[in-house]
C-alpha cells in the first residue's frame, strides 16, 4: 500500500498569533512611529476581535498619522454602522477638520465633554472659519491648561479678531517673552504691523528668523527644509519693506521667494499676491500667469488650490479680488463676470463681492446699474453700508449724477460734520442746482462743531467757508452774521475783512465802521486815494517783468542790453578776402529745370531707310514685335532696346544692297 502524501499547511490554516502578542507588536510600532505597520497589526487584531475598541482606536489614530484621512473616516463610519458602543465623535471631528469640512466638524463636537482637547480642536475650527471672537474666547478659557504653543495661537487669534492692541498686555500679564520661540516672535511682529509700528516689526522679524535658524539647525534639518519653515518670516519681512516704502527691496524679495519655490503653499501664495499688488497695472499678463500657479489644476474656472486652505478668509479674498481687477485691466469681461458671480457664496459676510460686481458694471459703462446694486446692498445691510455708500457716491459723481452722490454721502451720519465731507456735499449740491440744500449742510456742520467738545476744532474753517458760500449766493445778511460771530469769538482778521466786504454791499456806513478796526497797511500813508480814484486805472502789460517798481517811478530805467555780434563761420579753406566767383544760384535745382540745360539730340541715322523697301518693312515689324513682348512697366528701357534692334537689323540690309550694286 502506497504511503499517503502529507499536504503543505497554508497561511489560512495557520492559527493566528495570540492577541496579547498582537497588541505588543502594535504598541511597539506606535512607539517607533511606524504607523503603516501599526495599521496592519491593528487589522490582524480586528480579524480576531472585530469589535475591539482599542484596536479600532489605534487604527484610526495610525491612519491619521499617515495622513490617510479618508481611510480613517471610513473606519469610523464602519464602526458607527455596526452600532458599536464607542464614541468616535472627537476623531470624526478632527478628520472633518482636516478635510476642511468645518461646519460638519463643529457639529460633530457638540455634545462632547468640554475637555482641553475638545476645546483646542474647537478653537482651531473657529479660527479656520474666521470666527475670531469665539476663537479667542476659547483660547482664553484654555490659558489655565498647560498646553504647548497655546500663546502662539492666542496671539494669532487676537490679531485676526482686530484686537492687536491687547497682545502686549496679554504677554506681559502671562510673563511671556516674544523671543521665546520664532513662531511667537513672528505673530507678535504681525500685531505690531497692525498697530503701524513697522520699524519695530521689522526688528522683531529679524529676531524671529535668527531664533528659528538656530532652533531648526539644532533639530538637524536640511538647509532647504529650514528655508521652507522660515518662508512666512521672509514673506512678512518683504511686506514690511513694502509698507516702509522700500518697494525695490520688497519686489526683489518676493521675486526670489517665487523663483526659488522653497516655501510652503500659503507663503508662496501670499508672495505672489503681494508682488502683483506691488506691480499694479504693469505687465498684467505676467501677473495673471503667476496667479494661475495658485489655481486648482482640475478646475475650469479660477479656484484656489486645495493646499491653500490654511489661508485666512481675508487672504483668499484679496487673491480673488486681484484676479478680478487684472481681468478688468485686460478686458476679459466674461471671465471677470463669471468669477464675480461666484464670490458672494465664498465670502457671504464681506462687502468686497458687491464692490467688485459694481466695478464690472462701471467697466461696461453701466454706472446706473452699479449705483442700483450698491444702493440695494446698503439698504439690506445697513451695518456694512459705509464703504458701499462711499463707493456709490464715487461712481455717481464720476458718472455725472451729483444728486445721487450727495444722497449717498448724506446717509453716512458719522462723517457728516467732517470738513472734507462738508466740502464734497456742498460742491455736489451746487452742481445739482440745490443751493438751499448746500446751505443746509453748512448750517448743520456749524451747529455740530458749536456743540462739540473736541480738541480738533474745525468751527473756524467751516464758518469761514459758509460765509463765503452765502456771499456767492446773495445771502449777505447771513454771511455778515457769520463774519460777525467769527470776529467776536475768534478775532479773525480774515473774517473782519470779509465782514467789511460783505456789509459794504448793503450798508456802507456800517462797513466804514468795521473798516476802522482793520490795521493800516504799511507804506500806504503817502497815497492820495481821491486822486487815485480819478485816474483811468493801471494799464495792463503782459509779462511779469513789466510790473511797476519804485525804481521805475523815480524814472530810472535800465538800459537795453546790446546784442553781441558774432563773426560769421566760413567753410574750411575759404578765404573771405578772395572769395572767387559767386556760386551758381541754380545749383540746387534739378538739371532739367536749369536755364543752361539743353536736351540731348536724337540719333537720326537709326531712322534712315536703306536697301529694298520690303526688307525694311519686315525688319520694322520684327523690331515692333520685340518691343511689344518686353515689359511695358519700364518704358525707357523698352524704347532703347527697340532702337538698338532696329539699328542692328538695318546694318545687314545695307551691306547686302552694296553687294548687289557691285554685281
State the CB neighbour count (10 A cutoff) for residue 28: 13
- The torsion angles phi and psi of 27, rounded to 5 degrees, stand at -65, -40
The string of pLDDT tens digits covering residues 5-59 is: 444 444 445 666 788 888 888 888 888 888 899 899 888 888 888 888 888 889 9
3-class SS string, 27-72: HHHHHCCCHHHHHHHHHHHHHHCCCCHHHHHHHHHHHHHCCCHHHH
pLDDT at position 320, please? 94
Closest CA to 371 of 352, 354, 346: 354
Kindly state the DSSP code that residue 600 receives in the 8-state scheme: P
- 576's CB contacts (< 8 A; 6+ apart) are 570
The string of pLDDT tens digits covering residues 356-394 is: 999 999 999 999 999 999 999 999 999 999 999 999 999
3-state secondary structure of 646: helix
3-class SS string, 93-140: HHHHHHCCCHHHHHHHHCCCCCCHHHHHHHHHHHHHHCCHHHHHHHHH
In sequence order, the β-bridge partners of residue 304 are 295
pLDDT at position 519, please? 72
Superfamily (CATH) of domain 16-112: Tetratricopeptide repeat domain (1.25.40.10)
| Residue-by-residue DSSP string for 442-498 | HHHHHHHHHH---SS--HHHHHHHHHHHHHHTT-HHHHHHHHHHHHHHH--HHHHHH
With beta carbons less than 8 A apart as the criterion, state whether 238 and 254 touch: yes
pLDDT at position 538, please? 64
Q: What sign has the CA pseudo-torsion 472, 476, 478, 484?
A: positive
Ranges of each domain in the chain: 16-112
Give the residues of the chain that fall short of pLDDT 70: 1-16, 455-456, 490, 492, 509, 521-526, 537-562, 602-663
Amino acid at each position: 500500500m502506497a504511503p499517503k502524501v502529507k499536504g503543505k499547511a497554508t497561511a489560512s490554516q495557520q492559527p493566528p498569533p495570540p492577541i496579547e502578542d498582537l497588541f505588543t507588536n502594535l504598541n511597539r510600532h506606535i512607539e517607533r512611529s511606524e504607523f503603516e505597520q501599526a495599521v496592519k497589526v491593528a487589522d490582524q487584531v480586528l480579524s480576531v476581535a472585530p469589535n475591539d475598541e482599542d484596536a479600532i482606536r489605534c487604527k484610526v489614530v495610525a491612519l491619521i498619522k499617515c495622513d490617510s484621512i479618508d481611510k480613517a473616516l471610513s473606519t469610523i463610519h464602519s464602526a458607527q454602522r455596526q452600532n458599536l458602543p464607542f464614541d468616535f465623535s472627537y476623531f470624526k471631528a478632527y478628520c472633518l477638520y482636516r478635510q476642511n469640512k468645518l461646519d460638519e466638524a463643529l457639529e460633530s463636537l457638540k455634545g462632547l465633554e468640554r475637555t482641553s482637547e475638545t476645546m483646542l480642536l474647537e478653537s482651531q475650527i473657529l479660527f479656520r472659519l474666521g470666527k475670531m471672537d469665539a476663537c479667542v474666547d476659547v483660547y482664553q478659557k484654555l490659558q489655565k491648561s498647560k498646553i504647548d504653543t497655546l500663546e502662539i495661537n492666542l496671539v494669532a487669534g487676537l490679531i485676526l479678531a482686530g484686537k492687536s492692541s491687547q497682545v502686549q498686555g496679554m504677554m506681559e500679564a502671562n510673563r511671556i517673552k516674544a523671543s521665546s520661540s520664532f513662531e511667537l516672535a513672528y505673530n507678535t511682529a504681525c500685531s505690531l504691523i497692525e498697530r503701524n509700528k513697522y520699524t519695530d516689526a521689522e526688528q522683531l522679524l529679524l529676531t524671529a528668523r535668527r531664533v528659528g535658524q538656530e532652533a531648526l539647525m539644532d533639530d538637524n534639518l536640511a538647509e532647504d527644509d529650514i528655508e521652507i519653515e522660515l518662508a512666512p518670516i521672509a514673506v512678512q519681512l518683504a511686506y514690511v519693506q513694502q509698507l516702509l516704502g522700500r518697494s525695490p527691496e520688497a519686489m526683489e524679495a518676493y521675486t526670489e521667494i517665487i523663483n526659488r519655490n522653497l516655501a510652503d503653499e500659503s507663503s508662496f501664495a501670499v508672495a505672489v499676491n503681494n508682488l502683483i499688488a506691488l506691480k499694479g497695472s504693469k505687465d498684467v499678463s505676467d501677473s495673471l500667469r503667476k496667479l494661475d500657479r495658485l489655481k486648482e489644476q482640475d478646475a475650469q474656472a479660477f479656484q484656489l488650490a486645495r493646499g491653500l486652505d490654511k489661508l485666512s478668509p481675508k487672504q483668499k479674498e484679496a487673491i480673488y479680488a486681484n484676479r478680478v481687477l487684472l481681468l478688468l485691466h485686460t478686458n476679459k469681461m466674461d471671465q471677470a463676470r463669471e468669477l464675480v458671480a461666484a464670490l458672494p457664496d465664498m465670502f457671504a459676510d464681506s462687502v468686497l463681492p458687491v464692490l467688485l460686481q459694481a466695478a464690472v458694471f462701471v467697466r461696461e459703462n453701466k454706472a446706473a446699474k452699479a449705483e442700483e446694486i450698491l444702493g440695494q446692498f446698503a439698504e439690506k445691510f445697513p451695518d456694512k453700508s459705509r464703504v458701499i455708500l462711499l463707493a456709490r457716491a464715487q461712481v455717481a459723481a464720476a458718472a455725472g449724477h451729483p444728486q445721487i452722490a450727495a444722497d449717498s454721502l448724506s446717509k453716512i451720519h458719522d462723517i457728516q460734520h467732517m470738513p472734507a465731507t462738508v466740502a464734497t456735499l456742498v460742491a455736489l449740491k451746487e452742481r445739482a442746482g440745490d443751493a438751499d440744500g448746500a446751505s443746509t449742510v453748512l448750517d448743520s456742520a456749524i451747529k455740530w462743531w458749536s456743540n462739540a467738545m473736541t480738541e480738533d476744532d474745525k468751527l473756524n474753517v467751516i464758518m469761514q467757508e459758509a460765509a463765503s458760500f452765502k456771499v456767492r449766493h446773495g445771502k449777505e445778511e447771513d454771511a455778515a452774521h457769520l463774519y460777525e460771530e467769527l470776529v467776536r469769538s475768534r478775532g479773525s482778521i480774515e473774517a473782519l475783512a470779509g465782514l467789511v466786504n460783505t456789509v459794504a454791499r448793503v450798508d456802507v456806513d456800517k462797513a466804514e465802521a468795521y473798516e476802522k478796526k482793520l490795521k493800516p497797511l504799511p507804506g500806504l500813508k503817502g497815497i492820495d486815494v481821491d486822486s487815485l480814484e480819478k485816474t483811468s486805472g493801471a494799464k495792463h502789460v503782459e509779462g511779469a517783468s513789466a510790473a511797476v517798481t519804485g525804481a521805475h517811478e523815480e524814472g530810472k530805467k535800465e538800459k537795453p542790453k546790446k546784442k553781441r555780434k558774432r563773426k560769421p563761420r566760413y567753410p574750411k579753406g575759404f578765404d573771405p578776402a578772395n572769395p572767387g566767383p559767386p556760386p551758381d544760384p541754380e545749383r540746387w535745382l534739378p538739371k532739367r529745370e536749369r536755364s543752361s540745360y539743353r536736351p540731348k539730340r536724337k540719333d537720326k541715322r537709326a531712322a534712315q531707310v536703306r536697301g529694298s523697301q520690303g526688307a525694311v518693312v519686315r525688319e520694322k515689324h520684327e523690331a515692333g514685335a520685340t518691343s511689344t513682348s518686353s515689359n511695358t512697366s519700364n518704358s525707357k528701357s523698352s524704347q532703347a532696346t527697340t532702337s538698338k534692334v532696329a539699328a542692328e537689323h538695318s546694318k545687314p540690309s545695307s551691306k547686302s544692297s552694296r553687294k548687289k550694286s557691285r554685281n
